[in-house]
Each structure stands twice: as C-alpha cells, then as structure tokens.
Amino acid sequence: AVWCPLSPAGAQTPQLLVEPPWTPAVLWDRVTLTCQGSGTAGDTTWYKDGQRWGLEAPDHFLVTKSGTYTCDRPSSGLSLPVMVSNDPLVLHVPAWSQLEGDTVTLRCRG
C-alpha cells in the first residue's frame, strides 16, 4: 500500500481500498470499500458525491449505489475519491499502479 503525507507534521491521508481490486469499480461486481488510516474505525466519516453519508459499518461497506466515495478520519483527513459506476460493459485493469514494461491482465466484463 502507498501512503501519501497530508501535512509536514507527518500525518497520512486515509487510503480507500476497493475489493475486488479492479478499476473501474462497477456496482454489479459487489464492490466493498474499506477506509484504512490512523485513528479508530468508529471515527470514519463517509461521503458520497461530496455529501456526508451515514453508515452502520464504520470502516467498510458493500456499495449499493453508484457514485464517487471518499472517507475521512479526524486525525488524518480525507481520502482520494473512488468512483463506482453502473456501466454495463467495462475494461478492467488491476487497481494497483502499473509501470511501463509490466505484464498486465485486462478483463472485458459485462
């Protein structure tokens, strides 16, 4: 996992993990989002399309609506956004970073 500094004091932004680990994330793929970062899971605040969104499971949940999701932890700030679409056909690539020369598995799914 890669962590990005949020401030000079060394705080780190939370990371929004996607399972299954393919991009783009699609609703029909039963996507689970998990917010990982400093602080306790109960301190997680979720946002969908820029609006605060209350959930029962504080650090992870199964996505049931398409949209753009972020999570926030008081001690580490806001994660990068993850978009979950409802497109009927997608070209999937692994969610982790790829470098030139890497062997990459692509999936066409619908």
Question: Mean pLDDT throughout 65-80?
Answer: 89
CATH assignment of the domain containing 80: 2.60.40.10
Residue 40 lies in a domain: yes
Cβ-Cβ contacts under 8 Å for 100 (sequence gap 6 or more): none
**pLDDT per position as a tens digit, 18-66:** 999 988 999 999 999 999 877 666 778 899 999 998 765 678 899 999 9
**pLDDT per position as a tens digit, 81-110:** 999 999 999 888 887 777 788 888 888 988
Residue 7 lies in a domain: no
**pLDDT for the residue 75:** 75
Tell me how many domains the chain contains. 1
**pLDDT for the residue 51:** 93
Residue 4 lies in a domain: no
d(CA 28, CA 86): 7
Residue 25 lies in a domain: yes
Q: Please give the residue range of the domain that contains residue 83.
A: 15-109
